[in-house]
Amino acid sequence: MKNIVILISGTGSNMAAIVRACSRDDWGVRFGARIAAVVSNRPHAGGLAWAAQEGIATAVVDHKAYPGREAFDLALAEEIDRHAPALVVLAGFMRILTPAFVQRYEGRLVNIHPSLLPAFPGLHTHERALAEGCRFAGATVHRVTAELDHGEILEQAVVPVLPADTADTLAARVLTQEHLIYPRALVRLLSGGVQKP
Ligand code: GRF
């Protein structure tokens, strides 16, 4: 069985889109894959309750309980490794990971970022796209490397920036596309459509 562990920090709408795609498109039958667990660094992340209702194992590794990034990442890895994951999927997981953590999951670790990378790595992507007068915005699914929001691009989606857009309306338009491209990227990885680096 190819276990997928999803890491979240908040609402978890990308996580939910992946869970729905997994059952709707029979990832179990097609790829021998399943969502093994959802892990959050925030005890009150909304996505945790949703995942639990779906019958998925959930866990919290609260970053505030650890003295630093190394200790937190070690505890997080311990939780993740209980599921011997084929893929570790960052879905709105708002922590910067240590190089050791990234190396441990090399080739298995992916992220979604709400911009057309390599434009606008980091935070406040929609505000920055609007401030720059971009006519298009979007989202990127990419492999995770030690450098923030870098790594091989696996999928992208583009949306128009409309004249009346605020950061919120643009974020909502981008998010609907995120929910399409993240499952699509995982299907390609699970089916061997992307070579390991
Ligand atoms: C998404 O826009 C994702 O790209 C970014 O954080 C947001 C998380 O949303 N990293 P959700 O928790 O998946 O609803």
Distance 173 CA to ligand 1 centre (A): 12
Note the pLDDT tens digit of each residue in 106-118: 999 999 999 999 9
Residue 195 has pLDDT above 70, yes or no: no
- Structure token digits, residue 63: 């970053």
Contact partners, residue 187, CB within 8 Å, separation at least 6: 21, 25, 27, 31, 193
Residue 28 has pLDDT above 70, yes or no: yes
Q: Cite the active site residues.
A: 113
> What is the model's pLDDT at position 101?
98
Q: How confident is the model at residue 196 (pLDDT cuts 50, 70, 90)?
A: low
Q: What atom of ligand 1 comes closest to residue 46's alpha carbon?
A: 12
Return the domain boundaries, the chain. Answer: 2-190
> What is the model's pLDDT at position 8?
98
Note the pLDDT tens digit of each residue in 33-91: 999 999 999 999 999 999 999 999 999 999 999 999 999 999 999 999 999 999 999 99
Q: What atom of ligand 1 comes closest to residue 114's alpha carbon?
A: 4
- Structure token digits, residue 22: 């997994």
Facing residues of 38 across strands?
6, 58
Integer-rounded Cα Rg, in Å, for the chain is 16
Q: Does domain 2-190 have CATH number 3.40.50.170?
A: yes
Question: Which protein residue's CA is at the shortest distance from atom 9 of ligand 1?
Answer: 92
Distance 91 CA to ligand 1 centre (A): 6
Cα 118 to Cα 11, 31, 99, 151: the distances in Å are 25, 31, 20, 9
Other residues' Cβ atoms within 10 Å of the Cβ of residue 98:
19
Facing residues of 158 across strands?
138
